[in-house]
Each structure stands twice: as structure tokens, then as C-alpha cells.
Chains A and B, each alone.
Chain A
Amino acid sequence: MFSAPTRNALRIPDLKFGRFPTMLDAVNRCTIILRKTMRFRERKVGEILVVEILERRLDAKNAVAIKTVFQKKFDAGVFHIAIDMGSVNFIDSSGLGAFVTSMKLLGDRGSLVFFGVRPAVADVFRLTRMDRIFKMHQSEPEALEAFAG
């Protein structure tokens, strides 16, 4: 049982928020925890590490985790990385900033390229002119080809 919310919360009688009386309660009590990690899968193709990002959103809540993933790779001596963005359907400036930081950490030791970027996500790269900094390829073979050439 929950007491009536003291705040002027939005009430939508026709919608059900589980056992919570209002949407605000549902959000307040949600158990989403600030993600300390970014979910991804990785595999080696020759000298190149292919990192498949398994997050739908790259935003302020997981920006630090993005940087950490790549920092660890660089620390382990992995400098050629192709990032599969196929699962990502939203990115904000924090997500972009995390990739910029990763690029700066890498410096001229290697390269970080993207493939499978969805149109809406590519639009954010264009909007911020980040498409001039990052190399984006249509597919994995194209990305791997770019490393070879």
C-alpha cells in the first residue's frame, strides 16, 4: 500500500503503472541503477578487435562506462578497434563526447572506426560535425577493409 503522493504528480487513471498509483511513483521506485558498465561483445579478426555495443542508448548515464571500456583496451595494447553500432538507436552529446575522449586517449597509436550506424544516430554525428572526425563504414567487411588499406 502506498500513501497518496504529496507532490502534484500527474495522474492518468486509464494507465496502470504496475502496483504504483502514479507514474511518478513508478519512476521514483524503479530499480534502474546507474550503469557502471557498458554491455558489449568482442571478438578478434586478425589484429583488429571488433566491439559490438549491446546498448540501445548511449547517453549521459553510460558515458563514463563507454570511456572505461576503450581505456581498458588501450591499456591492454589493443589499438585497432571497429565498433559495431547496429544495436544503438539513440546517442546524445554525452555518448558522442565519450567517443571523442576515447579517440584522444588513443591518439595516433591506432584507430577507432564505426560500422552499422543507424540513420538517426548518424544524423547526430552529422549535426555536431563529428562525422568529420570519426570514420563510419556501412558494414563490418568495409570497416575491416579500411584497416587493411
Chain B
Amino acid sequence: MNFDAPRTVALEIPSRLDCIEFIGESLRVLCPLAGFSEAESYRIELGVIEALNNVVEHAYEFQPDSTVRIQLAFSPDQLQIVIRDAGKPRPGNLSHNLMFDNDVMDSWPEGGMGLFIMHEVMDNVSYERVDGENFLTLIKTIPW
């Protein structure tokens, strides 16, 4: 199915880790319909899951009764995903690098890989804080 006109899907979940899977499974169904391969769809799912984990863990600090809104906008050439929450703002100095030495066990990362993964799997990642809300925009180009 080729999308000749933009189509938007809006989803909303409570800020709970056990509800994030619901968005992942939705992407796994929707992305192939928009022209992404199975491997690309998996990577999109991964990028979005990492973003949602960060919202629940860092922006909302595990408060379960808040809301995370996800808007998926499929257009002929790209998928734009906007993740919106009213949690704490993201610190300004976050790095999305991943550096470790294979031979030095202490340097192996046990966390903090989410941002790196998001930047790796998406074509563009941007963050804005507007009127007390966080807006994270992820863009993936649809290959032809």
C-alpha cells in the first residue's frame, strides 16, 4: 500500500513501562503498510520504544498516572513520529554518543544507550520544550 496522501494515527498510553509494548506492536503492524521493510519497521519500533522508555523513566520518573501521546504521520516520503509528554524537561547536555572499550569491562554501558539508538535508527531526531510540554520528533524517510 503506497500512501499518496498523509495519514495520521494518534495513540495515547499511560506513563507505564508495561504499556509501551502496545505502541511497539502497533508500529510493527503500521510501518510495513507504509512501505517500510520488516527490518526497518523493527528499527523504527526500537527507536520509539527507547524514546518512550525515556519519557516514563526520566520525564515522568515512573509516575504511572500521567499520559504519553504519540502521533504517527505517514506521508508519501516519510514517517514523522511526535512523542509528547508533560513531564520534566530533558537536560540540555545529553550526549548521544556510545563509547566503550571492548577489552575493559568497566567501560561497558549498562544504560544510557537509548539516545544513541534513536539517532542511529532515525533520519532525524529533534527535541523541543513548549509550554511545559516535551515534544520529541523522530523522522524516518520511506525508501523507494
Contacts and interface: CB of A to CB of B under 8 A. Distances in A.
B87 interface: no
Contacts of B39: 119-120, 123
What is the predominant secondary structure among interface residues of chain B facing chain A? Answer: helix
Task: Determine which residue in A35, A60, A97, A107 has the highest number of CB atoms from chain B within 10 A of its CB, and name it.
Answer: A60
A94 B58 CA distance: 14
B32 to A, nearest CB: 13
Interface stretch (B42-50, B73-81, B126-134): B42-50
B102 A92 contact: no
Contacts, number: 98
B35 interface: no
B53 to A, nearest CB: 5
Interface string B73-102: 000000000000000000000000010101
25 contacts: A7-B12, A7-B67, A23-B12, A24-B12, A27-B22, A32-B18, A57-B24, A59-B49, A60-B17, A60-B53, A90-B24, A90-B45, A92-B49, A94-B53, A97-B113, A100-B109, A104-B105, A104-B108, A119-B39, A123-B39, A127-B117, A127-B120, A127-B121, A128-B117, A129-B100
